[in-house]
Structure 1
Amino acid sequence: MSPALRIPVLAASVLAAGALIAQPTAAQPTAVAADPTAAVTAAMTARKPAVMAAPKIDITRRDGDWAFGTAVALGVPGTDRMPEGWLFLAERTPDGWRVALDGEPGFAGLAAEAPVVTEAEKPLFAQQNGLQAAGDFRTGMAMPWTTGQTWGMPGGPHGWSGTPTPWSSLDLAGGDQRVRAARGGTAYTMCKGWIRVVHDRGYATDYYHLWNNINVNGAAVAQGAYLGDTGTDVTCGGSAFGRHVHFALRQNSAYVGIAGHNVGKWVPQNGGAAYQGSALHGSTRVAAGGSVYNYGPLGFNQGVVDTNGGGTLNKRSGPGTGYGVVGSVADGATVTVSCSANGTSHTGRYGATTLWDRLSDGTWISDAYLWTGVNGPISGYC
């Protein structure tokens, strides 16, 4: 893929982003109160949301001494202050209701034993604790609209609430305006206009400002499932100028920088300020305000050819320039990698590497000219 210079920079940005999220240190649920709503409110207060004048708490499932639902700290409509939201679990004990919000150490423990959590949800919630994909920027996601359509990207990487980091979000609009799940997972209606989908590998995605959004409480959705239409809804806070979807990437129950991840075979790039930036597909760069074609998800054993300048890339009969040329592949093409080996060194967009990748047709290309999202082999060594 992408040689050694790439990963340390992006990994540092992810870790810095994580440092901005208040992380509880206790291994047990963080709040206990006489009723579940009061316990959830106390847990939310402990997370210190920027705005919580009127917390919106919805208990969507009850089973005896257990409760599950969504907790939203409302933002301020007409401002950059977006709502903050969590899933929560509550259990009644002799001391009162104990509660944990997703992202807290106690949440996964409660989820493992809670009858209000489905068998499909339990492994997804367990993956939200700990850095499941450290150094791995593959998401398996498409852009959040129908594959094969072209939409506009009026806003490049920016924060969930505008300029603050991490720049987790993109503003996207156009096409048929129908917003779709970027990857399969389990969907929740956090608030009017706001859907969250929890995926595997510790990822989740948020979709805000929707009109006609679906009303779901842990429903399984496939990649491409309809979630709602682009809109300007700010019922729960924030602002929207012109219909669009505010699309955000989360990992381990916190927003993370979307730059460097692959979404729809594009890799968002930060700009000098929030809402600027661009997206790369091979050597093709689209700046904020431009149009982006949804190529669909990139497979975990696939890469996008990036010649760092356009044109074509020679394919060789072995892992190095000492082997004969046996064809070529175009910049931006998707290729499948069978295995990798070391050979002659080459320098691409992200630095130098000696790694070569054997493609599914038996030919070889230098990993310096392939975006895979991993700093090393994605299908093992040959």
Structure 2
Amino acid sequence: MRWAAAATGLLMLTGTLMLAAPAAATADGTAADPVEAVTDRLVQHGRSETGAASAADEPRVSVTRSSEGWAFGTAVLATEPGSARMPQGWLFVAEHKDDGWQVAFEGQEEFAALSERAPVVEEAEKPLFAQQDGRQPDARESVTGQPGTMAGGDFRTGMALPTTVGAGTVMTSGPHGWGGYEHPWSSLDFAGGDQVVRAAREGTAYTMCTGWIRVIHDRGYATDYYHLWDNISTNGGWVGSGAYLGYTGTDVTCGGAAYGRHVHFGLRQNSQYVAVAGHNLGKWVIYNGASAYQGSALHGSHRVYAGGVLHNYGALGLTQAVVDANGGGSLNKRTGPGTGYAVAGSVADGATVSIACSSNGTSHTGRYGTTSLWNRLTDGTWVSDAFLWTGVNGPINGWC
């Protein structure tokens, strides 16, 4: 369940809708208005960044905010409805200078710099945009589909599933590309439950086009939600974690296809789609399968494969961990960092624990390898890091 058949509706965005119609130029041939300038840059940017922008793609530029000499909005390369190619889109900031418009898209260093000075960018957006400058960690997903050192070795997102916390939803498709089979496998498909699509984490939200919402989060992350019905119309509005974004649907106003009602959820970091495998969403660790659309999710020692139901346990805090006893059961807690210390109770597989600090102790082997790291919990007891998913390979809240 990943694509849909028919396209419906016209492009509706907050602010003024402006397509790539010819606009007057200045005497020196530069664009006289930001729509023309952004449109000129959009096709070139799409090709350089994603290989997108075929002859059939339709540039759709919307200036949603403007002030004297400044413009802000969305720039989308819409594909043909029903096609296998998904639309691509970016936020942009543009400043008018003597020699024309300077345009910067998400993922360019100039985007953060222009945003900091732009009167059309809100104060709440500026620190988030400052992290969207396109820098990528050492290893984006390799051709093998393995996450490698993606996210710089830090896979904490602070995100829930894009569904209602406390409810179940079907992960109809495991990790796959934003447009299908291509790498990185950044996306998941969800359907069923109450059909409500919700923000995985708080941030500023943007209607890229009908059926498509993007939320910019902290720590360089962003999330995309496509094929929505009755989605919100927003121009940088703040949304809390779990905020309503729309319903699962089959909308393809900006292109692509959707067979069966669902939300196409994409993970981005520093303005690029990145591998979702290895990250934690709703206290589930996502795993690739042998091919796109397969894969699984792991909560503690409980694994669910594509096509199964995931319970949304909510977001895992950045100093929290999920207990993975590597086979079920429970994990002993100790009075100190090692098995030489007395047992001080136990904690169940799949439970969430909060970590105060870390120290080295006796060595143990768990699902993610061998380590001598132990974590002191906020109740004063200790557990081996070998049996916790924290999202990092090392202490997450400092040393004791």
User: Who is 2:370 aligned against?
Assistant: 352
In 2, the alpha carbon distance for the partners of 1:93 and 1:339 equals 52
In 2, the alpha carbon distance for the partners of 1:374 and 1:299 equals 13
Structure 1 stretches of 5 or more lacking a match?
1-31
In 2, the alpha carbon distance for the partners of 1:37 and 1:158 equals 33
Give the counterpart of 1:339 among 354, 357, 361: 357
In 2, the alpha carbon distance for the partners of 1:33 and 1:346 equals 64
User: Who is 1:237 aligned against?
Assistant: 255
1:84 matched to 2:102? The reply is no
1:168 matched to 2:197? The reply is no
Residue 127 of structure 1: SS of its match in structure 2? coil
Q: Deviations over 1:236-288 (max 9, x none)?
A: 11111110000110000010000011110001100000000000101110000
CA contact (8 A) 2:168 2:311 kept: yes
CA contact (8 A) 1:33 1:98 kept: no
- Deviation of 1:93 (Å): 0.6
Residue 89 of structure 2: SS of its match in structure 1? strand
- Deviation of 1:45 (Å): 2.1
1:268 matched to 2:268? The reply is no
Give the counterpart of 1:250 among 268, 288, 295: 268
User: Who is 1:195 aligned against?
Assistant: 213
In 1, the alpha carbon distance for the partners of 2:218 and 2:369 equals 30
CA contact (8 A) 2:177 2:185 kept: yes
CA contact (8 A) 1:43 1:101 kept: no
CA contact (8 A) 2:43 2:59 kept: no
In 1, the alpha carbon distance for the partners of 2:317 and 2:111 equals 30
Moved more, 126-135 or 208-217: 126-135
CA contact (8 A) 2:71 2:93 kept: yes
In 2, the alpha carbon distance for the partners of 1:187 and 1:153 equals 24
User: Who is 2:69 aligned against?
Assistant: 65
CA contact (8 A) 1:100 1:106 kept: yes
In 2, the alpha carbon distance for the partners of 1:41 and 1:58 equals 10
User: Who is 2:234 aligned against?
Assistant: 216
Q: Deviations over 1:142-178 (max 9, x none)?
A: 1111110000011000000010010000000111101
Residue 134 of structure 1: SS of its match in structure 2? helix
TM-score of the aligned structures, taking structure 2 as reference length: 0.86
Residue 55 of structure 1: SS of its match in structure 2? strand
Q: Which residues in structure 2 correspond to 1:1-382 (within 5 Å)?
A: 33-47=31-45, 48=47, 49-51=51-53, 53-129=57-133, 130-131=135-136, 134-382=152-400
Percent identity reads 68
In 2, the alpha carbon distance for the partners of 1:273 and 1:81 equals 18
Q: Deviations over 1:178-209 (max 9, x none)?
A: 11100000000001100000000000000000
| CA RMSD of superposed structures (Å) | 1.1
Q: Deviations over 1:314-342 (max 9, x none)?
A: 11111011111111111100000111110
- Deviation of 1:109 (Å): 0.8
CA contact (8 A) 2:43 2:77 kept: no
In 1, the alpha carbon distance for the partners of 2:304 and 2:386 equals 21
CA contact (8 A) 2:43 2:53 kept: no
In 1, the alpha carbon distance for the partners of 2:277 and 2:394 equals 19
In 2, the alpha carbon distance for the partners of 1:131 and 1:244 equals 29
In 2, the alpha carbon distance for the partners of 1:223 and 1:36 equals 33
In 1, the alpha carbon distance for the partners of 2:199 and 2:231 equals 12
In 1, the alpha carbon distance for the partners of 2:266 and 2:58 equals 24
Residue 75 of structure 2: SS of its match in structure 1? strand
Matching residue's letter, 2:169: W
TM-score of the aligned structures, taking structure 1 as reference length: 0.90
In 2, the alpha carbon distance for the partners of 1:140 and 1:131 equals 19
- Deviation of 1:131 (Å): 4.8
Residue 130 of structure 2: SS of its match in structure 1? helix
Counting matched residue pairs gives 351
Residue 197 of structure 2: SS of its match in structure 1? strand
CA contact (8 A) 1:131 1:202 kept: no
